Each structure stands twice: as structure tokens, then as C-alpha cells.
Structure 1
Amino acid sequence: MSQTAILVKEKGVVRIDKPFDFMCSQLRNGRYKLTIERYTESRTLSQNALMWLWFTCIEQETGTDKQDVHDYYCNLFLRRTAFINGRETVIAGSTSKLNTLQMTEFMNKVKADAAVELGITLPLPEDRYYQEFINEYKYRR
């Protein structure tokens, strides 16, 4: 049985969401390894919405179906090697499994590729003409 807790450090102060002694009391006798790793959230709905807005733009500008655009970029940037039944195979990952940091990295790669390979500028929410971009593509989904 493992124990999980959320540890937060803000302004030099560490807080944990359950007492450490209690968590240890729930474990069986034995040796354990304690690992602390950065907590990440799943991709956000706003990241997902922006990604599909970008793919709608690419669809409108290139004539390529937005699902095909999605699959293309997943194959290009989320590809990994796996062994299935003893055979090596390449698998395209899915954006649904990404955390917020991984989704940001994926979208930065899509943005850069679209600019270089397609000549399409995909804006971020903080960009100057972002609202105009939304108005242009949000109803075309």
C-alpha cells in the first residue's frame, strides 16, 4: 500500500495536506523509499480549446481536416517507441494524457512548425490580435 500527499512550498514555508506520521502509520512494516516530485496538473480545458482553435485555423487555411492536423502533430511530436508482444513499434501519443507543462511544450512546437512550414501565425491569449483570431475561427469548428 502506498501513501500520497500533496506538499506545497510557498514563500519558504512547506505545508503538507496530511500528517506525515499518520501516513507512515498506515504502512506495513518494511523498508520504503520516499520520493518527492513536482506535481503537475492535467492539461487545462483552455489549453485544449486553444489547440483545437489553432487546428481549425490550420484546417481553414490548408484544407486539411483538423482531426488529421491533430493526428499529424501527435505523430510528429508525441511519438514514442514501445514493445508489444516482443516487437518494437512506434506509437503516436495523445494530447489527452499530457500535463500542463507537456501540453505547453507540445503547443509551442505546433506554433513554431505552423509558422515555419505553413506560414501560419498561431496566437497566444496574450498576443495583440488574439481576440480577432478567436472571432475569425471560433464559429468554424
Structure 2
Amino acid sequence: MSQTAILVKEKGVVRIDKPFDFMCSQLRNGRYKVTIERYTEPRTISQNALMWLWFTCIENETGTDKQDVHDYYCSLFLRRTAVINGKETVVAGSTSRLNTLQMTDFLNKVKADAATELGISLPLPDDLYYQEFINEYKYRR
């Protein structure tokens, strides 16, 4: 059995959401390794919505189905090597498993590739004509 707690450091002060002694009391006797890693949130709904809006735009501009566009970019940017039954193989990751930072990186790569390879400018929410972009593509899903 493992224990998980959220540790927050703000202005030099560290807070933890559970008493450390209590967490340790819940463990069986034995040796344990304590690791502290930066907590990241899963990708946000707005990131996912932006991605599909972009893929709808690419579908409209190229004629390629947006699911195929999704799969293409996952294959292009989320590839990794996995060992399956003792053999190395290349697999494509999924955006559903990305955290917010990883999803931002993925979206930036898609945006850059669409601009350079397809000649399609994909706007971000802060861009001047983003609302017009939404109005153009949101109902084409």
C-alpha cells in the first residue's frame, strides 16, 4: 500500500495535506523510498477543446478527417519506444494522458507544424481574432 500527499511550498513555507506521521503509520513494516516530484494537473478541458477546434479547422482546410489529423499528430509528436513481448516497437501516445504542461507543448508543436507544413494559422485564445475563429469552426464538429 502506498501513501500520497500533496505538498505545497509558498513564500518559503511548506504545507502538507496529511500529517506525515499518520501516513507512515498506515504502512506495513519494511523499507520505503520517498520521492517528491512536481505535481501537475491533467490536461484541461479548454486545452482539449482548443485541440479539437484546431483539428476541425485542419479538416475543413485539407479534407483530412479530424480524427486522422489527431492520430497523425499523436504519431508525430507523442511517439515512444515500448517493449512488448520482449520486442521493441514504436507506439503513439495519447493526448488523454498528458498533463497541462505536456499538452501545452503538444499544442505548440501542432500550431507550428500546421503553419509551416500546411500554411494554416491556428489562433490561441489570447489572439485578436480568436472569437471569430471559434464562430467559424465550433459548429463543424
Structure 2 gap ranges (5+): none
Classify the secondary structure of the residue corresponding to 2:80. Answer: strand
1:20 and 1:11 map into 2 onto residues whose CA distance is 21
1:138 and 1:11 map into 2 onto residues whose CA distance is 42
**What is the match of residue 42 of structure 1?**
42
1:133 and 1:44 map into 2 onto residues whose CA distance is 20
Percent identical among aligned pairs is 89
1:127 and 1:52 map into 2 onto residues whose CA distance is 17
1:90 Cα offset (Å): 0.9
**What is the match of residue 83 of structure 1?**
83
**What is the match of residue 129 of structure 2?**
129
**What is the match of residue 138 of structure 1?**
138
1:9 and 1:47 map into 2 onto residues whose CA distance is 26
TM-score (norm: length of structure 1): 0.96
Taking only aligned residues, the RMSD between alpha carbons, in angstroms, comes to: 0.9
Q: In the comparison of the two structures, how many residue pairs are matched? A: 141
Q: Could you list the structure 1 runs, at least 4 aligned residues long, displaced by more than 4 angstroms after superposition.
A: none
Structure 1 gap ranges (5+): none
Classify the secondary structure of the residue corresponding to 1:9. Answer: strand
1:88 and 1:105 map into 2 onto residues whose CA distance is 26
Further displaced range: 20-29 or 40-49: 20-29
1:38 Cα offset (Å): 0.4
TM-score (norm: length of structure 2): 0.96
